[in-house]
Every structure is written in structure tokens, then in C-alpha cells.
Amino acid sequence: MTACLVFLPLLAVVAILMGSNPRRTTRITTSLMLLGGITLAALWAMNMRDGLAIDPVVLTKPEIRLGFDLYDGMSVIMMLLSVIVAFAASRTGDCEDRHSRLWNISILLIAAGAVGAFVSTDLFFFYAFHELALVPTFLMIGILGRGERRQIAWKVTIYLAFGSIVLLAGLLWLVAASGSSSLSFDELLRTSIPVEAQRGISLFLIVGFGTLVSLFPFHSWAAPAYASAPAPISMLHAGVLKKFGLYGLLRLHPLVPEGMHHWLNLLIVLLIGNILWVGFVTIHQKRLDTMLGNSSVMHMGYIFLAFAALTEAGSELANPIAQPAAILLMFGHGVTIAMLFGLADRIEHRTGTLELRDLGGLAGKTPGLAFLFGLAAMASIGLPGLANFAGEVMVFIAGFKGWHHGDPFGWLQLATIAALWGLVISAVYMLRAYRSIFQGPGVQATREAGDLTVTERPPAIFLAFVLLAVGFFPNLLLGLIDKPEDEAVIDLQAITTSIEPAPGTTGLNSRQPATGN
Amino acid sequence: MLELLAWLLLLLPLFSAAVIQLWLKEIPGPAVRMSIFSVVTTFLLTLILLAGKDTSTAIKWASAGSFHIEIGLLIDDLSKGMMLVVTGVGMLVHLFSLGYMKDDGAKARYFGGLSIFMFSMTGIVLASNFVMMFIFWELVGFSSYLLIGHWFQKDSAAEAAKKAFLVNRIGDFGFMIGILMLWGLFGTFAFAEMADGARALSENSNTVTGIAVLLVFCGAVGKSAQFPLHVWLPDAMEGPTPVSALIHAATMVAAGVYMLFRLQVSAGALLFEGFAGTTIMWIGGITSLLAALMATQQDDIKRVLAYSTLSQLGYMVMAVGLAGDHGGEAGMFHLYTHAWFKALLFLGAGAVIYACHHEQDIWKMGGLLGRMKKTAITFAIGTGALMAICPLSGFWSKEQILEAAHHENPALFWLAIVVAALTPFYMTRLFIVAFLGQARAHGAKEAREVPGIMLYPLFALAAMSIIAGFPSIAGKLSPAFHHPEHAFNPTNPIFLISLAALATGLAAGVLLYRGRDSDPLAGNPVFRIFRNKFHLDELYLVLVRFCQDTVAAVIHFFDEFLIGELIVGGLARSATGLGNVFRRLQSGNLQGYAILFGAGIILVIYLTVFAR
């Protein structure tokens, strides 16, 4: 069942290559994916989880399985995010006919790669599908990008290749250290990795995954890439594909909790770099597209903060808020940034420019566009009632989870405070941009602009609906995440591990932190 | 049943706003009716709840394991009294807007904005826990952004809206840290459970608790426009005047005071002992004095009222900070009386502006008493209440604040007395210049009485300004704020001192401004400082330029050239060199490389793993 979601877009690619109409095929495929994704999530929510998985063995030594399943709530939510953004992205932007095949095949491949990575139950395919999705990203920037496209494409390729290779090294080391004969997550999670190895592996994972998520200081590829790439690619990459790194960190964290904990302070410094440093960089931007690109880099810091809270606690049991907070924020941010990039493209389509100082008074001409963009902008700066806020507020709560009176503030609390100041920073740049694009008297560039057409509206309205639904009812998504265990079990485990701490080892069912304090 | 009504009270305005935004944007008639229907219904619901008993209800909003964030409604005397103010003033402002915004092209958007504002404000008042209060706190900031920026085509309005939002965000930065700290200290977000948590705190954690309270207070400094974050409120006068009456007189700005008092009654007044309470009362006191001084030299009728609002809010915050001797109740009582008469003054100003063809400079008015008698009389009543003339409503609450100040902190008491003299001074100036004498401009000469739909709300507010403070009435409408032990006593020295202050301010105003055509104090260097608002706006502009834009530019430079070019760029260049080799091997184009890259990576991982 789950596998269909991955193979459907790949089949569509084949169909396009064999001559079917690229645009229509892509739109039908992403609609089917959306339907399928929602159906799967509904089945998952109703606990009808049998028969969703396949895992044929494709290789026996070591054992690699082409396994697809809704592995847990996080998989389900990321899968939903992928199909939602793919649906909107395939309906955004205009391309010339001669590029139509490349354009649509790229969208389908990225969608397939993202969904594939999120529902893989095997480390090999988890990595491979992400790589699959990266290739069309490079191509689209290099061939159809704006500005210095070849140079930017190179920069992105090199950064991401660097990240991928570091990550690959980390993953190989992880497999080797675990001694597992299989690469499936289930098997890996049954193993335990010595603490010394965990440290090295964790650093590779942080740098590797971190580069893919534009963790400071490996972030400078992101903003130019998103500014240059065609709108659907920015939407899919910033909205979905980039979350692969965070997803990976959260997914593999149970394997290397002590190792990650070792690098906690580094992680905190880097994420503050994302929030404050890149935040200031964002304030300085004079173009909407680079501003949005930088803002998306900045907001990754909040998700890293949730990851840091999880790392500090050592396990999901010790800080049950951190991981759901991260997942919720990944989802909210993905939808928001996709919507913003999509609408920014529509603004440029009308006015021919994204320079803030050349724009003004657009709201008077295009009230519909102004409303939708305003909604997305407000979501991005954390207005309650829209998805991001719920995630953000839970991240902050997770950051203060371990603090009680009598304690001094730890690094995590200080980072949370820095992140809260980030809310002021993002309000500054977002409202400034909104002010100079939509408000004030009209200017030359906006004089002739007309409102969104009937075909332009649906993707944005759809994303707005998702933001509002999750913003008002975050439990719609949070309910998909399995509760760690009920409280009695947690208490029992806490007692057991405090009596008998397993030094330097972790396993699936005794994930209490040895270094959690 | 009551719970159901409470949910309806919260959700009806949201429903109204949603319907207007989705379906009625192009048809103002039904949009206006929807919004009015919503606000009148919520007012009636409030009256029903006022007669009913206390209750509470909650649903889970966001859950993670055993942790839940709840959306809950707390119906008690405090929230009921506050809801009466919010929906009462809100309803009258809606009605007044019918006339004031009659010819506005974006009337549907305006009434939709009012509805979303009512929803947000109701959420703050009924919130059962701090996270929920923060949620609606942010929403109030957002709705005020919408309403202040209603005429967004005007640069000044767009800037003012942005400024209000940003300044509030700065306050909310502290507010959220405070909320998180109190969560760590009390172990709960819920107001109903705070008392136990507060009791359990040991003596020696007073410093931490005090810091947490002060951080929470930051939220109030933003929302209630206290020094040094007061700068957004006068600029917010760019919004339509009824909006100023609603959010800058009665509701939004009062939210900060309400939140502090909610914390005080939930966790105990002991929380406000020590340096936290002292800081709060002095911030309030300083705000009330500075704002009153600035108000003496404003020429725009709405700005005089704006600074007067700041000053009165300072009074309330000071009272809540005094905490002991029912200072908090006195502050809330003043909030309640102030809401009616300040809304009256703002709407009265709106009527005057409307009649004078959108003239706001009081020196271009004059003689309005003869031309718009009814408006002028209601305005006089509001002025009297603000000056605290016995027995108008402002008098009762101001006496209580003075009494609490006298009891707790003599220095603040004298500061409050100075403010009590400044208030009648600048209000006398405003009234004499705008309403008496001769018309000094064309607009004022042509001014005619406003239509009934604008007058009736003024009458209702005037009635409330007269009677709302009487102990027998206040005790029924707002039992939570009213403390009968402060019974009025004419031989009380405090009363005599405040009476003297009132007389001084009134006399000075009359003597200076009667029959004048321009401000005799305008050339005075001291008063010029007041006129220029102590140059605080300019100072902030410099600070923002430096701290934000310059720092941003410097960091951007380093980001571009240090991280982008030197460190990672070096890495990239060496890799590019490698890439060039590949490129030569391949057909030399990017596609080839990218495909090779993708395929290669997969091959490499496969072989590496296989080889083991």
C-alpha cells in the first residue's frame, strides 16, 4: 500500500517519457498521491495498520530490504507533508512548452524521492531516495534557474554532495559499529553502539544531515538556491526535501543518544547561529526571494532546538514534548514556506520584480493575493491559529522542560531565550517585506497588476486551509504520533534504569538516558 | 449549559469574521449586519453569564504524551466583569462605526477586523491558562495590526500598524520567557492551580520568582503601552477613530492590566512583594507622569486622548504593582470606569472629526459647543469623569488608587497627585480650545451635529460614565474589582488633597487657554520637550538603526565573505577543481555530472556495504 505512493510518481515519469502529456500526467499523479496519502494517514489513525508494509529482500549479505511502511507517526506526517506540497507545487509556476518534460519529471522525481525517503524502513533506501530527489533539484537550478544559475547550481551541488558524503560516512560507520547484518531500522534499533563510536558517528551525522538542512555555518547554499530555482522546486526542496536531514536526525537519534549528547553544546551554538546570525542576515535582504530563502534557513534553528531538547533529555521518554514539537514545526514550516515561495512567484509574474524597494501598494490591486500572502507571512512569524505557532510554542516548552526552580539556566534554556528573540527578528523582516510589497501607495511596477486567477488560487488556498486546520487543531497531527508509553510504564522504566544503568549501551526498549542529566 | 454559552461567547465573533472574510467581502451590507449581530449577541450572553454562577471548561488543544496544552474558559467574577466592559464598549463602538465608516470602501474588511478583534480579546479574558492567554494575546496584536492599518494605502497608517505589532512582539519576548519560568516554578500553566504552586515555593527562590514576574510584566508593558514601550500607542491613532476607542481605550491596552491582576489573584498578591512589585509600580508611575506631561502639548485631538490613555494606564499598572491594600482591585476598578469614559471621549473625538471634515487639529476647531450641542455635552461628561470630578465614575476609582498609593508608598502617592493635577489641565485645554470660543477654520464653521447612529452610543457611554462608579452599581456589575471598604469619606485628607489638585489643574487650564487662538506655552523650551515627547521616538529610531540595521549589515557582510567565501568557499573551490576533472571526463555539462553524481553515490554505497 505505502509502496504505491512511491512507485506511482515513478510510473508517471515513465509515462511522460513515453509521450503522455507531462503537465496533465503530473497533476493527476500528485492528486492521486494526495488522496492516497490522506487515505493511508486515515488508516493509520484508525489503527488499521496491517498490510500497509512491504519489505522484499533485495540483497542478503548484508541484508537490504526494499521496505516501505508507515514506520511511525513521524513517517506518516512527513509523508503527508510531501504529498501536500507536491500537490501544490505541481500546480504552481509556468514553464515554456519545450521545458515541460524536464519541469514535470523533476517535480515527480522529487516527490517520489521525498516520499520514498520518509517511508523507507531500510537505511539504504532511506539514503538513496533522498539522493534521487537531489538530482533534479540541481538540474532545474542549472537549466531553468534565475540569475547566475550555473554558478548557484554548482555551489548547491558541491555543498549537498559534501553533506551527502559526510552523511554517508556516518551511516556506514553506524552500520559497522552496530554489527548488524541488516540495514532495516527495526534491526538496527535492536543493536547497541559503544559510546566512543557513538561520538564520532554523531558528529558525522550532525555535519552531514546538518548541511542538508542548512545548519549554520553550512547554510550559505540555501538562500541563493531557493531564489534561483523555479518556484515548484523551491517549494518542494525548502518545504519537504530539506526536512530529510531533520527527519534523519530524529530517526537515528535512538541509536546514538549518548553520542549526540556529547555534542549538545556544539549543536546549541550552531542552532543559535541559525536563529540569530541568519536572522540578522535575513533582515538585511533587499529581495523577497532571498529573504524567504534566508528565513527558511533561520527557522531550521527552531527545529534543531527541539532536537537539542531531545538530545539533552536523552530519550523521548524523558522529554516527550521535544519530538512531537519538532515534527509539528517541520510540517508547519514546510507548508508555510512552500506557500510563500509559490506566492512570491506569482508576485514576480505580475510585477516583473522581487526587489522590495520597487514594489508597493499591491494589496489595493490584488486583495486575494495580499490576503493569502499575508496569511502565509503571519504563519511564518508564528501567529496562533496557523500551524507553525503550535510547533513553535511546543518547542519553547520543550526547551524549558528540564528547568525547575533552584536550577540556574542551562544552555538549552538560554538557547530557548535566544530563539524567542528570533520571533522578534522574524516579525521585523516579514512585516517589513509585507509593508513594502503590499502596503502604501501604488508604484509603477504594481500599477497594472491583476488579482490571482482561477487557476492560480487553488494551490495557495489549499495550503492555507492546511495551515489553518493544523493551526486550530494541532492534535489532528499530534494524534498520529504514538504516545511513547503510558505514564506508569515510564515511571517503571525510570526506576529500573536508575537502579541498573546500562553503561554505554542503548537498545530499543531501554532507552533511558545514561547521560540525560 | 453555561459552558455552552461561554463557548458561544468565544466562538461567535470568530464565526462572524470567518463568514465575512470568506463570503461577504464584496457585499458590505450583510457583512456589517453579521458583525453587529455577533457583538450584540455576545453582549447579551455576557449579561446572562453575569447573572449565572462561576464555571470552567476546557478541551485539549495540543498533546504530547501526557503533556497537554488546553484551551479552557474560566468564568468567574473577574472575567465576567471584564467581559462586560469588552462586549459593552465593543457593541457601542460597532454601532458608532455604522455611521463613522458609512462611506468607507472597505467596510466589510473593517467589520471583519472588529469581529476578529472581539474574538481575540474574549480569548484573553476567558483564558484558563497562560499558554492560551499567550495565544490570544498574539491574536489581539494581530487584530490591532489589521485595524490600525485599515487605511494601508497611507504610508503613515502602514508604518503605525507595523510599529504596534513589533513593539508588542518585543514585550511578548519577555512575556513568553516569564510564562515558561512560571511554568517551571509552579509546575502548571493553569490559573486555577497556581495558588498551590506559589505556596510551595520556598522563601529563598524569591529572586527567581521576582524575575519571572517581571518578565511576565514585559508582556503588559508592551500591550498596555507602558514606558519604555509606549511609543506604539500614539502612532496607532492612524487607525479609524472608533478603533482607537475600542482597542486603545477599553480593551487591548487594558489586557496587560487584566493579565497582571489575573496572575495576582491566581498566585496570590505575595508574588508582587519585593522588587518585582516595586518595579511594576514605578514603571506605572513614571508612565503616568511622562504621558501626562506629553499630553499637555499635543495639538491633535486624538493624540491628547492617546497620551491621556497612556497616563491612565500607568495609574492602573501602578495600582496593580502596589498589590497590598487592594491596590490590584483599585487598578481593575479604574480600568472598568476608564473604559467607559475614555471610549466616550474617543468616540466624541470621532464625532468631532467627522463633523469637521476630518480635521484633527484642535486649534482649527473651536466653538463646537454651539454647533454640536449633544456631542459637546457628552464630551464634557467624559472630560469630567477623566478629571475625576465627584461623583462621576472616574472619581471613585481614582480615589481608590490614591488611597492604595498613600497606604503603600508615599512617594508614588505624590507623583499620582501631580498627575491628578495635570489631567484636568490638559483636558481643560482640549475642551476650551476645541469646543468654546470661535471657530478658527472652515471645517469647524460648517460642523453640524452627527447623525443619531453616532449619537446614541455617545449617550449610552455618557450614562455609564456618570453612574458606573457608584458603589451600588459597581458592586453589581463588577464585584471582582470593587471593594466597599474604601467607602468615600469627605473629611479624608486624601480626598482633600486630590480635590486641591483637581482645582489647580482646572484653574490653570482655564486661565491659560480661555479665548486663545494659539498655544501660549508653545515657545517655552520645557514645554517644547513635552511636545517632542522627550525625543524618545527619535532615540528609538537611532537605536533601531544601529542595533538592527547596522548589526544586520555587518553580520551579512561576514556571512557573505567569511562563511560564504573564505571558509566554505575554499572547500567549494577545491571541490570545484575536482568537479572540473569529472567534467572533462564527462561530456562537460551539468546534467551529466548530476546524473553521474546521483548514480555514483548509490553505486558507492551499494558496493561499500556489499564489500563488507
Q: Which of B10, B189, B559 should we substitute to test contact with A (largest number of A Cβ atoms within 10 Å)?
A: B559
On chain B, the residues whose CB falls within 8 A of the CB of A479 are 63
> In chain A, which residue's Cα lies nearest the Cα of B171?
A424
Shortest Cα distance, chain A CAs vs residue B219, angstroms? 13
Nearby residues of A86 by Cβ (< 8 Å), 6 or more positions away: A9, A30, A33, A34, A107, A110, A111, A114, A236, A240
Q: Cis omega before residue A62 (within 30°)?
A: yes
Range from A95-99, A259-263, B140-144, B199-203 carrying the lowest mean pLDDT: B199-203
Instruction: Write out the three cell numbers for B546.
Output: 544601529
Closest C-alpha to B96, from B308, B309, B345:
B345
Nearby residues of A229 by Cβ (< 8 Å), 6 or more positions away: A137, A140, A141, A145, A237
Greatest extent of chain B over all pairs of C-alpha atoms, in Å: 102
Hey, are the CB atoms on B597 and A157 less than 8 Å from each other?
yes
Q: What percent of chain B has pLDDT over 90?
A: 43
In this structure, are strands B67-75 and B55-64 parallel, antiparallel, or unpaired? antiparallel
Mean pLDDT of B355-361: 86
Q: Which residues pair with B72 in a beta bridge?
A: B58
Contact, B291 vs B334, CB < 8 A?
Answer: no
* Residue B79 φ/ψ region, left for φ over 0, alpha for ψ in the -120 to 50 degree band, beta for the rest: alpha
Hey, are the CB atoms on B169 and A424 less than 8 Å from each other?
yes
Contact, A218 vs A210, CB < 8 A?
Answer: yes
Residue type, B65: G
Q: Which of residues 438-497 of A touch B (CB under 8 A)?
A: 438-442, 473-475, 478-479, 481, 483-484, 486-487
Task: Please check the confidence at residue A242 and state whether its pLDDT lies above 60.
Answer: yes
Q: By the CB < 8 Å criterion, does B219 face chain A?
A: no
pLDDT value of position B113: 93
pTM of the model: 0.90
> In chain B, which residue's Cα lies nearest the Cα of A318?
B65
Q: By the CB < 8 Å criterion, does A112 face chain B?
A: no
pLDDT value of position A229: 92
pLDDT value of position B595: 57
DSSP secondary structure of B109-158:
HHHHHHHHHHHHHHHHHHBSBHHHHHHHHHHHHHHHHHHHTTTTTSHHHH
Task: Please check the confidence at residue B186 and state whether its pLDDT lies above 90.
Answer: no
Q: pLDDT tens digits, residue range B446-493?
A: 888 888 888 999 999 999 999 888 877 887 777 777 665 555 677 788
Q: What percent of chain B has pLDDT over 70?
A: 90
CB pairs under 8 A between A and B: 221
Closest C-alpha to B85, from B316, B400, B360, B420:
B316
Hey, are the CB atoms on B553 and A284 less than 8 Å from each other?
yes
Q: Which of residues 32-91 of A touch B (CB under 8 A)?
A: 59, 61-62, 64
Shortest Cα distance, chain A CAs vs residue B289, angstroms? 29
Task: Please check the confidence at residue A502 and state whether its pLDDT lies above 50.
Answer: no
Q: Which of A59, A369, A393 should we substitute to test contact with B (largest number of B Cβ atoms within 10 Å)?
A: A393
Q: pLDDT band at residue A511, thresholds of 50, 70 and 90?
A: very low
* Burial of residue A32 (number of CB atoms within 10 Å: 0-12, 13-18, 19+): middle
Q: CA A337 to CA A235: how far, in whole Å? A: 7
Complex ipTM value: 0.89
Q: By the CB < 8 Å criterion, does A145 face chain B?
A: no
For B388, B403, B491, B492, B500, the CA distances from B497, given in Å and listed in that order, are 13, 11, 11, 9, 5
Q: pLDDT band at residue B597, thresholds of 50, 70 and 90?
A: low
Q: pLDDT band at residue A56, thresholds of 50, 70 and 90?
A: confident
Q: By the CB < 8 Å criterion, does B497 face chain A?
A: no
pLDDT value of position B36: 94
pLDDT value of position B567: 56
Q: CA B89 to CA B231: how far, in whole Å? A: 24
Closest C-alpha to A453, from A374, A375, A369:
A369
Task: Please check the confidence at residue B569 and state whether its pLDDT lies above 60.
Answer: no
Q: Which of residues 278-337 of A touch B (CB under 8 A)?
A: 278, 280-281, 283-284, 320-321, 323-325, 328
On chain B, the residues whose CB falls within 8 A of the CB of A220 are 559-560, 563-564, 568
Q: By the CB < 8 Å criterion, does B571 face chain A?
A: yes
In this structure, are strands B55-64 and A57-60 parallel, antiparallel, or unpaired? unpaired
Task: Please check the confidence at residue B299 and state whether its pLDDT lies above 70.
Answer: yes
Phi first, then psi: what are they for A59, rounded to 5°? -155, 140
Instruction: Write out the three cell numbers for B360.
Output: 484633527
Mean pLDDT of B538-560: 79
pLDDT value of position B575: 54
Task: Please check the confidence at residue B576 and state whether its pLDDT lies above 80.
Answer: no
Q: pLDDT band at residue B257, thresholds of 50, 70 and 90?
A: very high
Q: pLDDT tens digits, residue range B301-310?
A: 999 999 999 9
Q: What percent of chain A has pLDDT over 70?
A: 92
Q: By the CB < 8 Å criterion, does B572 face chain A?
A: yes
On chain B, the residues whose CB falls within 8 A of the CB of A153 are 590
pLDDT value of position B364: 86
Q: By the CB < 8 Å criterion, does A385 face chain B?
A: yes
Q: CA B450 to CA A245: how far, in whole Å? A: 64
Question: Where do the H-state alpha helices sit in A314-410?
Answer: 322-351, 362-365, 367-380, 387-399
Task: Please check the confidence at residue A308 and state whether its pLDDT lies above 80.
Answer: yes
Q: CA A102 to CA A20: how far, in whole Å? A: 13
Q: What is the dihedral of CA B179, B182, B187, B191, to 10 degrees?
A: -70
Contact, B164 vs B148, CB < 8 A?
Answer: yes
Q: pLDDT tens digits, residue range B98-134?
A: 988 888 888 899 999 999 999 999 999 999 999 999 9
pLDDT value of position A52: 77
Hey, are the CB atoms on A159 and B572 less than 8 Å from each other?
yes
On chain B, the residues whose CB falls within 8 A of the CB of A124 are 605-606, 609
Residue type, A449: A
For A437, B376, B430, B521, the CA distances from B513, given in Å and listed in that order, are 46, 18, 9, 10
Residue type, A460: A
Instruction: Write out the three cell numbers for A35.
Output: 488522496
Task: Please check the confidence at residue A515 and state whether its pLDDT lies above 70.
Answer: no
Angle at A451 between CA A447 and CA A456, to 5 degrees: 135
Across the interface, of B568, B594, B598, the residue whose CB is closest to A218 is B568
pLDDT value of position B548: 74
Instruction: Write out the three cell numbers for A326.
Output: 519538532
Q: By the CB < 8 Å criterion, does B582 face chain A?
A: no
* Burial of residue B11 (number of CB atoms within 10 Å: 0-12, 13-18, 19+): middle
pLDDT value of position B203: 59
Q: Which of residues 172-201 of B touch A (CB under 8 A)?
A: 172-173, 176-177, 180-181, 183-185, 201
Q: By the CB < 8 Å criterion, does B467 face chain A?
A: no
**Residues making up chain B, counted from first to last:** 612
Q: pLDDT tens digits, residue range A112-136?
A: 999 999 999 888 889 989 988 888 8
Q: pLDDT band at residue A489, thresholds of 50, 70 and 90?
A: very low
Q: CA B493 to CA B417: how far, in whole Å? A: 13
Task: Please check the confidence at residue A400 and state whether its pLDDT lies above 60.
Answer: yes
Range from A43-57, A498-512, B408-422 carrying the lowest mean pLDDT: A498-512
SS3 category, A408: coil
Task: Please check the confidence at residue A377 and state whether its pLDDT lies above 50.
Answer: yes
Q: What percent of chain A has pLDDT over 90?
A: 53
Q: Which of residues 67-126 of B touch A (CB under 8 A)?
A: 67, 69
Hey, are the CB atoms on A423 and B173 less than 8 Å from each other?
yes
Task: Please check the confidence at residue A224 and state whether its pLDDT lies above 80.
Answer: yes
Hey, are the CB atoms on B169 and A423 less than 8 Å from each other?
yes
Q: By the CB < 8 Å criterion, does A403 face chain B?
A: yes
Count of Cβ atoms closer than 10 Å to residue A356 Cβ: 18
Angle at B273 between CA B271 and CA B279, to 5 degrees: 105
Look at A5 and B203; give whichever has higher pLDDT.
Answer: A5
Task: Please check the confidence at residue B612 and state whether its pLDDT lies above 70.
Answer: no
Hey, are the CB atoms on A427 and B597 less than 8 Å from each other?
no
Q: pLDDT tens digits, residue range B317-351?
A: 999 988 766 788 888 999 999 999 999 999 999 99
